[in-house]
Amino acid sequence: MKAILVGQFGGPEVLKLEEAPTPQPGSGQVLVRIHAAGVNPYDTYMRTGTYAQKPPLPYTPGSDGAGMIEAVGDGVKKVKKGDRVYTAKTVTGAYAEYALALEEQVHPLPANISFSQGAGVWVPYGTAYHALIHSSKAHSSETVLVHGASGGVGTASVQMARAMGLTVFGTAGTSKGLDLVKREGAHQVFDHRKAGYQDDILKATGGRGVDIILEMLANVNLAHDLKLIATRGRVIVIGNRGEVTINARELMARRGSIRAFTLWGITSAEEADIHAGLIAGLENGTLRPVVAKELPLGEAARAHKEILEPGAAGKIVLVP
Ligand code: NAP
């Protein structure tokens, strides 16, 4: 089979399309014919070798794939050959024509969701769900600011929060991104590249502040976020690419809190919750993964460059 292999940590150029043996499922494992693989920012951090998760070399990247079950190993009961699935982590990596996964790492992909959309389910929607439901414990009557709403996690968060009844504000850095965020359900959108946009957000709440901020770039925004939250407001740190200085007095004055997580650290009970919620939302059309771009598997290096560039508009997926 064709697969992307990383033989050494480094820049995007270390992602090489190579011929590799097609794996065979062992006991409790399944083989998925990957029709699309989702590209997530953490795939790029991992590739550099500086991320908390450092795989042994060589490795094939990718936790998020969608496709069909090709074969199942002994004892597998949940799925059978021909089933449509999305993956939430894999054993051998999703940037490939075939990926091995544990039985519990595959989940049914509803018929109304394309494979490319399915490749954008696990990390983006799992993160949005965990941030809104488990971490912020959002209530329908609250206001959420999705700070960085045009990308994978952002569009997922906007759709989910809107469906839950919250008042949704979203930011993006391009007019295309702003249009997308509005279309996916934000009540109001703000350009995070425009000077003073934070004042416009505060004005839109009548000076009260927002109840929840889902923060995609904490190193840039966290200090100011603390001035944008209402009394008992919560900032949920999802993305961060550096250090930041905050004034804790802003938090104290508002009895606010900052919470943070990585999807790697969640419990299996939380993960079970997430998949149940996501599958229901995908089935009933509430959750509609937005595919920005489909690239051939061999263009993984380009995908890794583009995902870190400004101008997000949903997910970038690789098609083997
Ligand atoms: P993505 O698809 O690349 O989207 C990035 C988002 O950040 C876009 O909406 C982008 O907007 C926005 N952004 C750029 N500059 C910004 C600024 N100054 N202020 C606010 N937002 C800004 O990435 P993603 O998959 O949505 O992930 C978002 C972040 O969360 C990444 O850092 C990722 O590593 C992290 N993440 C963490 C977890 C976790 O477990 N904690 C899980 C998933 C993702 P424009 O392009 O329109 O400017």
Residues 87 and 131 both lie in one domain: no
Residue 137, classed as helix, strand or coil, is coil
Q: How confident is the model at residue 96 (pLDDT cuts 50, 70, 90)?
A: very high
Ligand 1 center–CA 202 separation, angstroms: 22
* Ligand 1 site-directed mutation target among 42, 129, 157, 216, most atoms within 8 Å of CB: 216
Residues 143 and 244 both lie in one domain: yes
Ligand 1 center–CA 272 separation, angstroms: 25
284, part of any domain: no
273, part of any domain: no
The minimum-distance atom of ligand 1 relative to the CA of 127 is 42
Give the pLDDT of residue 52.
Answer: 85
Residues 10 and 139 both lie in one domain: no
- The last residue of one of the domains, among 227, 248, 264, is 264
Residues 157 and 212 both lie in one domain: yes
Residues 95 and 144 both lie in one domain: no
276, part of any domain: no
Residues 36 and 82 both lie in one domain: yes
Q: How confident is the model at residue 53 (pLDDT cuts 50, 70, 90)?
A: confident
Give the pLDDT of residue 207.
Answer: 98
Question: What average pLDDT does range 51-66 have in this prediction?
Answer: 95
Residue 144, classed as helix, strand or coil, is strand
> Bridge-partner residues for 19, per DSSP?
2
Residues 132 and 259 both lie in one domain: yes
- How many structural domains comprise the chain? 2
Domain residue limits at 129? 124-264
Atom 48 of ligand 1, nearest CA residue: 173
Geometric angle at alpha carbon 116, from 166 and 49, rounded to 5°: 90
- Taking the C-alpha atoms of residue 164 and residue 166, their distance in angstroms, rounded to an integer, is 6
Q: How confident is the model at residue 136 (pLDDT cuts 50, 70, 90)?
A: very high
Amino acid at 75: G
Question: What average pLDDT does range 222-251 have in this prediction?
Answer: 98
CATH code of the domain covering residue 168: 3.40.50.720
Ligand 1 center–CA 127 separation, angstroms: 11
**Ligand 1, pocket residues at CB < 6 Å:** 40-42, 123-124, 127, 147-154, 171-174, 177, 192, 216-217, 220-221, 238-239, 261-263, 307, 310-312
- Provide the mean pLDDT of the chain: 98
* Ligand 1 site-directed mutation target among 44, 48, 147, 153, most atoms within 8 Å of CB: 153
DSSP code of 233? E
Residues 92 and 16 both lie in one domain: yes
Give the pLDDT of residue 73.
Answer: 98
Q: Is 49 left (phi over 0), alpha (psi -120 to 50) or beta?
A: left
**Among candidate residues 121, 308, 144, 263, the one with its CA nearest the CA of residue 215:** 144
Question: What average pLDDT does range 253-278 have in this prediction?
Answer: 98
Calculate Rg over the CA atoms of the chain.
20
Question: What average pLDDT does range 154-159 have in this prediction?
Answer: 98
Whether 281 shows a pLDDT value over 90: the answer reads yes
The residue with tokens 């990718």 is 62
Residues 85 and 211 both lie in one domain: no
Ligand 1 center–CA 11 separation, angstroms: 20
What are the two backbone dihedrals, phi and then psi, of residue 232, each rounded to the nearest 5 degrees?
A: 65, 25
CATH code of the domain covering residue 42: 3.90.180.10
CB-CB contact of 59 with 300 (8 Å): no
Give the pLDDT of residue 150.
Answer: 98
Question: What average pLDDT does range 12-38 have in this prediction?
Answer: 98
Residues 105 and 79 both lie in one domain: yes
239, part of any domain: yes
Sign of CA pseudo-dihedral 145, 265, 63, 163: negative
Q: What is the pLDDT of residues 164-212, one digit of tens each?
A: 999 999 999 999 999 999 999 999 999 999 999 999 999 999 999 999 9
Mapped to the 3 state alphabet, what secondary structure does 6-39 carry?
Answer: ECCCCCHHHEEEEECCCCCCCCCEEEEEEEEEEE
Amino acid at 165: G
